[in-house]
Amino acid sequence: MKKTNSLPVIDRTFDLIKWYSAHVAKFPRSHRYSLGQRIEAKLYDILEGLVEAEYAEGAAKTAPLTAVNFRLEILRFLTRLSHELAVLPGKSHEFASREINEIGRMVGGWIKHAKTR
In a domain, 31, yes or no: yes
User: Is 61 in contact with 53 (CB distance < 8 Å)?
Assistant: yes
* Cα 91 from Cα 87, distance rounded (Å): 12
Domain CATH code at residue 105 = 1.20.1440.60
pLDDT, tens digit, for every residue of 40-99?
A: 999 999 999 999 999 999 889 999 999 999 999 999 999 999 999 999 999 999 999 999
In a domain, 3, yes or no: no
Confidence (pTM)? 0.93
Give me the domain span that covers residue 73: 8-116
In a domain, 2, yes or no: no
